[in-house]
Amino acid sequence: MESRHRVMTTERSGLLLSACVALLIGVVATASAIATASQAILLDGLFNLVYFMVSLATLRVSRLASGPDDERFPFGYGYFESLVNAGKGLLILGVSGFALFDATLTLLEGGHRIAAGLAIGYALFATLICSLTAWVLGRTLHHVDSPLVRADRDNWVVNSVISGAVLLAFCLIPLLQWADWQAPIPYIDSLLVIAVVVLCLGVPVRMASGAILELLNRRPPSAVAVPVRAAVERALADLPARRIHVRMVRPGRTLYVVVHVVLPDTYPVSSVQQFDAIRERVDREVRDAYATPVIDVVFTASDRWAEWPELSSER
């Protein structure tokens, strides 16, 4: 219980840090966008304000997902984590689409000039803050395996790379002014927005698609499924099983594993505790492969109880 509380506290601290930094950058970026007339900085502000709003829901879901199931949600709150990550990805995609459309229109209208000095100052600030936040969340992941913290860490890594690229691009403006090459300057900001959206579109797409597939109960990736299946087979290796069906889904951090073991009719059964001892062995092996599983092991002598009509063949 103490260990779980420590994990929850560490996770919550990481998510709270992420939310506070998103709000800070969102407010600073919005003010800087007004002062500099930069669409790229405004896009960054919108991204972070959206992220902050979703982070408020993330904090609540983190507490629910770390707790036990209840009467209202008998299978726990793991799916809420996938739902939050799907919403986060879709919201970022929506903001990206709006920014791409607006930047393209501005570009076709001849672009616009921005206050380069203030823009460089903001981009330097954002690069440092995003990089520091990504580093702190990376350290947090050494202590807690949380898909919510991992999604936030990935977001700040991408944000730091984007901010660094924007900083370099803004630094081109005084160089072009020094070289007295004025023609490209009005287009730099709009081109930056388009480049950022196009190059980083894969991040929200992967975030949303992965979470949606979890909500649809797709099998976990092979990196998770293969070791868990091997662990189950090791635990049951000494049984004369005719067939072993292993099915699993992973909404958020919780891995649900259902194992059907088809035994011969002649298998000797001395007591119920005999099967409980086998279940204990399966649980121990699986936990070595994955930290937070929920495992059901069902023993039967009939394939009828092990094969679901729509899942009658192993995948």
In tens, the pLDDT along 140-152 reads 888 777 777 887 8
Which residue matches tokens 């001892």? 277
Per-residue model confidence (pLDDT) at position 240: 92
Same domain, residue pair 281 and 143: no
Same domain, residue pair 50 and 92: yes
Which residue matches tokens 């979890």? 214
Per-residue model confidence (pLDDT) at position 157: 84
> Nearest Cα to 122, choosing from 20, 24, 208, 195?
24
Same domain, residue pair 232 and 164: no
Q: Which of 164, 184, 215 finishes a domain?
A: 215
Per-residue model confidence (pLDDT) at position 67: 65
Bridge-based pairing of strands 243-249 and 293-300 is: unpaired
Number of structural domains (the chain) is 2
Whether pLDDT at 315 is above 80: no
Same domain, residue pair 177 and 285: no
Q: What digits encode the pLDDT tens for the residues 184-195?
A: 788 887 887 788
Range in 14-23, 42-51, 73-82, 262-271 the model is least confident about: 73-82
Confidence band of 259 (pLDDT split at 50, 70, 90) = very high
Average pLDDT (57-81) is 74
Same domain, residue pair 211 and 233: no
- pTM over 0.85? The answer is no
Whether pLDDT at 174 is above 90: no
Per-residue model confidence (pLDDT) at position 153: 87
Whether pLDDT at 227 is above 70: yes
Confidence band of 309 (pLDDT split at 50, 70, 90) = low
Q: Which of 195, 215, 235 finishes a domain?
A: 215
Q: How far is CA 313 from CA 35, 235, 309, in A?
A: 62, 22, 9
Per-residue model confidence (pLDDT) at position 308: 63
Identify the domain containing residue 74 by its residue range: 2-215
